[in-house]
Chains A and B, each alone.
Chain A
Amino acid sequence: MRSSIPQTAIVIGSGIVGAAIAYFLTRRGIRVQLLEASAPAAEATGAADGAVSVASKRPGPMMVAAIAGVALYRELEHEGLFAGLFKSRSTFIVATSDEECAVLEAHADALEQAGVRIERLTGGALFEVLPALSPSTRLAVQVHGEGHAIGYQIVHRLLTAAGIVVDRHTPVNALLRDANGRALGVETHKGQIKADVVVIAAGTGSATLLGLADILIPRKGQLLVTERAPRLNAAFAGSIMSGRYLMSKGNRKPGAPTPARGLGLVIDPLVTGQFLIGGTREDHGDRRTNDIGAVSQILADAVALVPQLVHVRLLRSFAGNRTAVLDGLPLIGRVPGLDNAFVATGFEGDGICLGPIVGRTVAELVCGEAPSIDLVPFDPARFKSGMVAA
């Protein structure tokens, strides 16, 4: 590991991950130039559901990272950096059928074993806590200590706090490197920019820079926002997640084909009194449009869980592409073959939850310190063959 702290860094991408990396590097006194192809939070971060949550994670490295991610939100809120932006709330995973109850019970055990505080709610207690739920609900697992944050607000706060002026509309064409395995900087239409360190957090745009086109996949998600409905919103002790989400999240039998469009329902009560309702995970087509088929399906599932939603009006639909990695784990770490270049991308639907913790961890890595979360499972070197082309 390098022991000296670099003086300058280029960060490519100002989604939540890039913004967090830039923030933590700046805090260490490193001069950061943040390059952005369009504008901050313009891609996945601006079209995210905002869950800061462990609830749907399966045991393994992502669950460990998510637990650290949630804890950091709490810490930064306490510190004041995220004041007013992190809504602390529980997640309630609900089951309405035998099959869902069985999956949910097993999942609840796994969360408990990982040290997550949960509670099982049934019968009268369930409807006392969640009076808006459909009477057909059988079981709810309350996952304590979670929260919600809006991606673009977090980005704005991080950039404001660090005093960073983003180079908007400045796409990076290529990395500059020398013959000794060091990155020198980047090539943009404004010319070459040099720095001691280069960090790539460019979502799907990272693929071309690193030669990872086959490994990074755009995955579309459609989401909905309602008008303000303060009274119904107040009846929500937290977000409601359909137990079916667990099945769509990977509790499927190994080898079973992934459906082209998965639907995992989450109804999140926002601080504004609105509801955020999502969402799909779609592998076909990267058009950023909403279709009535998906929207009415999401809403039908939402109404099945919370019947009073029929009285609420839909205000907006939106869609965005998240960057997924072939094996389902993000890429975080040193770019293989380059001593002073790093990558952090491929968070799919977990970027909001993990963005700040990844930012802090990458900053540690850049400064030659031991990372505070275990990055071994996320090491980009596992796709080394792809990086050779870079």
Chain B
Amino acid sequence: MSVNRFIWQGREISFRPGESIAAALEAAGIVRLGLDALGRETRYFCGIGACQSCLVRVDGTACEACLTPARSGMTVTPLEDRS
């Protein structure tokens, strides 16, 4: 994979160094981040790590998309994959 890209649902998402996962997904036009365990939509909300609404999984562990810097080659998945 080229530098400054990560994988989201099989798609390569580019980012600028230092950018959060949320910012990169937002720039790619991705607003719905998936579903949580209750089937509710996960989404960017407070931007300060407080609301836990923008959780995604990075290599299997949940983290706040708004706080977590994007890194080349990482695999980011929705919190609960219901496919």
Partners in one complex: yes
Are B60 and A311 in contact, CB atoms less than 8 angstroms apart? Answer: yes
Are B60 and A230 in contact, CB atoms less than 8 angstroms apart? Answer: no
Are A230 and B62 in contact, CB atoms less than 8 angstroms apart? Answer: no
Are A230 and B80 in contact, CB atoms less than 8 angstroms apart? Answer: yes
User: Which residues of B sit under 8 angstroms from A144, Cβ to Cβ?
Assistant: none
Interface membership of B37, Cβ < 8 A: yes
Cross-interface CB contact of A311 among B36, B38, B61, cutoff 8 Å: B61
Interface membership of A382, Cβ < 8 A: no
On chain B, which size bracket covers the interface?
under 10
User: Which residues of B sit under 8 angstroms from A228, Cβ to Cβ?
Assistant: 36-38
- In the complex, A127→B33 CA distance in Å? 34
Give B18 Cβ to nearest chain A Cβ, in Å: 24
Give B57 Cβ to nearest chain A Cβ, in Å: 8
Interface membership of A313, Cβ < 8 A: yes
Cross-interface CB contact of A313 among B36, B61, B80, cutoff 8 Å: B61
Output the nearest chain A residue to B62 by Cβ-Cβ distance: A313
The count of A-to-B residue pairs whose CB atoms sit within 8 angstroms is 15
- In the complex, A310→B59 CA distance in Å? 12
A228-259 at interface with B (beta carbon < 8 Å) = 228-231
Most buried by A among B36, B37, B80: B37
- In the complex, A310→B62 CA distance in Å? 11
Output the nearest chain A residue to B61 by Cβ-Cβ distance: A311
Give B40 Cβ to nearest chain A Cβ, in Å: 11
- In the complex, A273→B62 CA distance in Å? 15
Interface membership of A227, Cβ < 8 A: yes
B51-76 at interface with A (beta carbon < 8 Å) = 60-62
Output the nearest chain A residue to B80 by Cβ-Cβ distance: A230
Give B42 Cβ to nearest chain A Cβ, in Å: 12
Give B63 Cβ to nearest chain A Cβ, in Å: 9
Are B37 and A273 in contact, CB atoms less than 8 angstroms apart? Answer: yes
- In the complex, A131→B10 CA distance in Å? 28
Give B6 Cβ to nearest chain A Cβ, in Å: 18
User: Which residues of B sit under 8 angstroms from A310, Cβ to Cβ?
Assistant: 61
User: Which residues of B sit under 8 angstroms from A273, Cβ to Cβ?
Assistant: 37
User: Which residues of A sit under 8 angstroms from B60, Cβ to Cβ?
Assistant: 311
Give B70 Cβ to nearest chain A Cβ, in Å: 20
Contact indicator per residue, chain A 201-237, by CB within 8 Å of chain B (1) or not (0): 0000000000000000000000000011111000000
User: Which residues of B sit under 8 angstroms from A311, Cβ to Cβ?
Assistant: 60-61
Output the nearest chain A residue to B37 by Cβ-Cβ distance: A228
User: Which residues of A sit under 8 angstroms from B38, Cβ to Cβ?
Assistant: 228
- In the complex, A273→B61 CA distance in Å? 16
User: Which residues of A sit under 8 angstroms from B62, Cβ to Cβ?
Assistant: 227, 313
User: Which residues of A sit under 8 angstroms from B80, Cβ to Cβ?
Assistant: 230-231
- In the complex, A313→B60 CA distance in Å? 11
- In the complex, A230→B61 CA distance in Å? 13
B1-57 at interface with A (beta carbon < 8 Å) = 36-38
Most buried by B among A227, A229, A310: A227
User: Which residues of B sit under 8 angstroms from A227, Cβ to Cβ?
Assistant: 62
Output the nearest chain A residue to B52 by Cβ-Cβ distance: A227
- In the complex, A39→B35 CA distance in Å? 36
- In the complex, A311→B62 CA distance in Å? 8
Output the nearest chain B residue to A231 by Cβ-Cβ distance: B80
Output the nearest chain B residue to A227 by Cβ-Cβ distance: B62
- In the complex, A312→B63 CA distance in Å? 10
Give A379 Cβ to nearest chain B Cβ, in Å: 48
User: Which residues of A sit under 8 angstroms from B36, Cβ to Cβ?
Assistant: 228
- In the complex, A312→B62 CA distance in Å? 7
9 new A-B contacts at CB < 8 Å, known A228-B36, A310-B61: A228-B37, A228-B38, A230-B80, A231-B80, A273-B37, A311-B60, A311-B61, A312-B61, A313-B61
Contact sample, A vs B, 15 pairs, CB 8 Å cutoff: A227-B62, A228-B36, A228-B37, A228-B38, A229-B37, A230-B37, A230-B80, A231-B80, A273-B37, A310-B61, A311-B60, A311-B61, A312-B61, A313-B61, A313-B62
Residues of B at under 8 Å CB distance from A?
36-38, 60-62, 80
5 closest residue pairs by CB, A with B = A228-B37, A311-B60, A311-B61, A230-B37, A273-B37
